[in-house]
Amino acid sequence: MLQVEKAIKELEMEGRKAAAVFVTSPTYHGICSNLSEISKLCHSCNIPLIVDEAHGAHLGFHPSMPCSALQQGADLAVQSTHKVLCSLTQSSMLHMSGNRVDRERICKCLQTIQSTSPSYLLLASLDAARAQLSENPETIFNKVMELAVEMRTLINKIPGIAVLDFPSFSSFPAFDPLRITIGVWQLGLSGYEADHILIKDYGVVSELIGSGSITFAINLGTCREHVLRLVSGFKHLSGTFSLNQGMSQRLDDIECSPFDDINMILSPRDAFFASKRKVSVRESLGEICGELITPFPPGIPVLIPGEVITQRALNYLLQLRSRGAVITGVADPLLSSIVVCNT
């Protein structure tokens, strides 16, 4: 809220006005912004609020869940209906409220990017997800909300495993109870290593992997057997790695991204069209990056074309790589070489 106010004021001082405020809420980890305050602030300046609610299509469908973006006054909200609700992957919805945003203009904008051959499979799956919710909107999430509480309680009892506990962070106004982030760093394990064991030995598939934690999404398809399997997996990790002396310091040296020392020499467009060469990682230091270097998960680029390659970014990438992250977007996923721009 304060950040939004500051950004609006800064623009005003330059004699400009924000065309819209764009907020991502909830985040991948389920952290929600105070959208009702932000929407009041935006509307007092006649600025529309647009919310990336990709992870929140289910919000507002249970009394213990945060309200949805539209319920909190957003003008536009984009939801990945496929993420927590049950439509097919790739299907999503754009919701509008009020008349601050011109509906006809939105339709025209959509026409410029949409296919002329919509997938009726995807559209039907969206309608099925809507129908599923509308049958019993008050109670549909009751069972999985109970499972989420049970999962948190059971995981919290396992030695060496930490559950991200949002209520203890007073600056977060709300969180999604169906997202659970579990830390494994006290066991000296990276999120990637723990994830590998959970998939291979327990068939547990996570939503997002971090350097020292894993985030899980509970949805309408989750059942008690899934929760118990996940808990067994973490008990196994705790029992196997908790006594592993010497490893617990191993993750302390992982730096947190994003870095604040980003130096763009070329625009991504100029870098895209520039002539390039492949150099060893050691030689790439100080060169202009020629490719999008993205550890996956989470799929957020660490270096983009046009940016100067720093020792910090290289250390971070190599550390993630050695701990099991897959590097995507690059010519050499092992990162022994990097494509750089000729200058």
Tokens of 195: 């994830």
Minimum Å distance from CB 273 to ligand PLP? 27
Measured from the CB atom, is 79 or 238 closer to ligand PLP?
Answer: 79
Measured from the CB atom, is 19 or 300 closer to ligand PLP?
Answer: 300
In contact, 219 and 84? CB cutoff 8 Å: yes
In contact, 270 and 313? CB cutoff 8 Å: no
Measured from the CB atom, is 85 or 189 closer to ligand PLP?
Answer: 85
Minimum Å distance from CB 3 to ligand PLP? 17
Tokens of 122: 């995807």
| DSSP secondary structure letter of residue 189 | -
In contact, 198 and 155? CB cutoff 8 Å: no
The residues near 295 (Cβ < 8 Å, ≥ 6 apart) are: 302, 317, 320, 321, 325, 326, 327, 328
* Binding to ligand PLP in span 55-114, by CB under 6 A: 80, 92
Minimum Å distance from CB 298 to ligand PLP? 8
Torsion of CA 158, 161, 167, 170, to 10 degrees: 150
Cα distance between residue 25 and residue 54, in whole Å: 8
Minimum Å distance from CB 50 to ligand PLP? 12
**Total residues at interface with ligand PLP (CB under 6 A):** 6
Measured from the CB atom, is 28 or 192 closer to ligand PLP?
Answer: 28
Q: Is residue 24 near ligand PLP by the rule CB under 6 A?
A: yes
Minimum Å distance from CB 32 to ligand PLP? 12
Q: Is residue 207 near ligand PLP by the rule CB under 6 A?
A: no
Q: Is residue 28 near ligand PLP by the rule CB under 6 A?
A: yes
Measured from the CB atom, is 129 or 309 closer to ligand PLP?
Answer: 129
Minimum Å distance from CB 82 to ligand PLP? 6
185-195 burial code (b ≥16 CB/10 A, e <16): bbbbbbbbbbb
* Binding to ligand PLP in span 132-191, by CB under 6 A: none
The DSSP line for 268-308 is: HHHHHHS-EEEEEHHHHTTSBB-S-BEEETTT--SB-TTBB
Cα distance between residue 255 and residue 211, in whole Å: 9
Measured from the CB atom, is 272 or 296 closer to ligand PLP?
Answer: 296
Minimum Å distance from CB 62 to ligand PLP? 21
Measured from the CB atom, is 54 or 288 closer to ligand PLP?
Answer: 54
Q: Which residue has the tokens 């983009």?
A: 304
Q: Is residue 54 near ligand PLP by the rule CB under 6 A?
A: yes
* Number of Cβ within a 10 Å radius of residue 136: 11
Minimum Å distance from CB 80 to ligand PLP? 3
Considering only 34, 47, 52, 163, the residue that binds ligand PLP (CB under 6 A) is: 52
List of residues contacting ligand PLP (CB under 6 A): 24, 28, 52, 54, 80, 92
